[in-house]
Amino acid sequence: MAKLPIKYSLQGQDELFGPSLEDLVPANDPVRIVSAVLDSLDLSDIYASYQGGGAAAYDPLMMLKIIVYGYLCNVYSGRQLARLIKRDVNFMWLTHYEAPDFRTLNYFRSVRLADGAFDRIFTQVVMLLNERGVVSLEQQFIDGTKLESVANRYTFVWRGTVEKNKAKLEQRLSAVLKHAREAVGQEADAKENQTEFTPEEVKETIADLKEKLAQKPIQTQEEKDLVKTLKHFEKDAPERLTKYNKSLEIMGKRNSYSKTDHDATFMRLKEDAMKNGQTKPAYNIQIATNGQFVTNYGIYQKPTDQGTLIKFVNSYHARYGTYGSEVIADSGYGSEQNYQYLFDTIKVTPYVKYNMFHINLSKAFQKRIFHIDNMPYCSEGNYYTCPNARKLLFWQSRETISDLGFKSIISIYRCEDCSGCPYAYKCRKGDGNRTVQVNFRNNKYRAKAKELLTSETGLKRRGQRYIEPEAVFGDIKHNHGFKRFKLKGQEKVGIEFGLAALAHNLRKFIRIVTGEICPETVKMAA
């Protein structure tokens, strides 16, 4: 029988000349490409944030490489990174046996990369990709998603509840103070029917009334109960008013916030395991992509996409000094305010749907002859003509203001006479002459958007949009498990998602460099 060849383990034996880290990391390993890309960046602002003196600090470039490569490997925890630094050859190659602990890593991520420092890093990488010809800054394919905050899911504060409880307290307080003034014989003044109070006013008013009641001999049980009530309100009301005011201040213009992450707003998420529509503390993440590379990102507290577009395209301009030539987005962004900004203010070509776009294109809609959009309009006489040849005459106009403060002019038209009309049951819902509302400016923008969206380029951009930001979100969230933030606060959450977006870009760039993706493939959007 032949001797069995076995390579025996030399575990525990010292080596005179051990293997080098350079030998253990292949030449085309992703960690080398990440290191080379980050070596080319200007990190002077991060270096300038160190005051100097004391113990020597870890090199900021090395710290950045550790965190970025960690996100590239789906490692988002500081503790996990700290363990890998001591175990993983690639991390050892990055650090050359330096071993910052998890506190140092977390501090660098949340503090050293704050105040726009990471934004500048992200911008430099995208500009590098643009110079290499794999990313264009001409098109912004925009979409949004909601990512859950690390906050406790059940520590919510709702505006409606706070305002209701505050109003009830102030109503009770007003009644008690009015009763107390009558008890001490105080003459009625302007504050008698006061319905809003500050904590300081409550303290001063109750202290004054208690002093006057003390000078008066208390005889009836009603007066004794009044003194007890004043003592209770003196202790409880200022504290509760302060709490309610603070909650409304934290909330700002939002309808909710989380007690454990004040910047998080309660939103409905698609990833609802219970399928019962529960709201969770989350952030609205907006991205712009090109060639499935993330070119811009933003973190917003508003649940709807419509109110984020203007700020988002402005952040793109602040980042690169250009708006690009085209903005492509779905119907969640197609509002009158956004169209006005895109068409008239920054003058880009918006391939942005509105909420009735697909319905308006359908044959079924075109057959709805009683819909105001399908009725003939006479601009000279300023009236519409219904299918029964009766005129809908201009009646009045009114101004509306959206939740975002945008003013629209609504023109109202009323039929001259609907009596005896054989089509009345199809045309109107109630009795009386039919009344319709028309927003001419919004209709003009929608007509221009429809023309763009149904053009040859518009059809191409609409097709690309499905494989642009949506594919990026799918890759980041589902392929790489980035579904919930680990840090609190809007700024820190922005750094977190920025790192995930940068890791996504580097992953895709590495595949191009190593030949897994043809560079021409990612130029489809250009």
- Please spell the DSSP secondary structure of 165-191, one letter per residue: HHHHHHHHHHHHHHHHHHHTTPPP-TT
Domain 140-146+266-357+452-523 has CATH 3.30.420: yes
pLDDT at 456: 95
Q: Could you report the per-residue pLDDT of 405-446, keeping only the tens digit for each? A: 899 999 999 999 888 888 888 888 878 899 999 999 999 999
pLDDT along the chain (526 residues), means of 10: 76 76 89 95 93 86 97 95 94 93 95 94 96 94 94 90 91 82 64 71 80 71 77 84 92 92 91 69 96 96 93 96 95 94 96 92 89 92 92 93 92 91 84 91 95 95 92 94 93 96 96 74 46
Neighbours of 353 (CB within 10 A): 22
Within 8 A by CB and 6+ apart from 155, the residues are 258, 259, 260
pLDDT at 524: 45
- CB-CB contact of 283 with 275 (8 Å): no
Handedness of CA 152, 154, 158, 161 (dihedral sign): negative
Residue in the structure block whose two tokens are 């050293």: 112
Annotate 323-365 with three-state secondary structure: CCCEEEECHHHCCHHHHHHHHHHCCCEEEECCCCHHHHHCHHH
Residue in the structure block whose two tokens are 């595949």: 511
Closest CA to 197 of 252, 247, 242, 248: 242
pLDDT at 403: 87
pLDDT at 517: 64
pLDDT at 525: 40
User: d(Cα 162, Cα 245) in Å, to the nearest integer?
Assistant: 9
Apex 156 CA angle, 152 and 160, nearest 5: 170
pLDDT at 516: 67
Q: Write the CA distances from 308 to 104, 142, 295, integer angstroms.
A: 34, 11, 16
pLDDT at 470: 93
- CB-CB contact of 63 with 126 (8 Å): no
- CB-CB contact of 427 with 421 (8 Å): yes
Q: Can you say how many angstroms the Cα of residue 473 is from the centroid of all Cα atoms in its chain?
A: 14
- CB-CB contact of 158 with 255 (8 Å): yes
What predicted TM-score, i.e. pTM, was given to this entire model? 0.88
pLDDT at 64: 97
User: d(Cα 136, Cα 128) in Å, to the nearest integer?
Assistant: 11
User: d(Cα 442, Cα 408) in Å, to the nearest integer?
Assistant: 9
- The length of the chain in residues reads 526
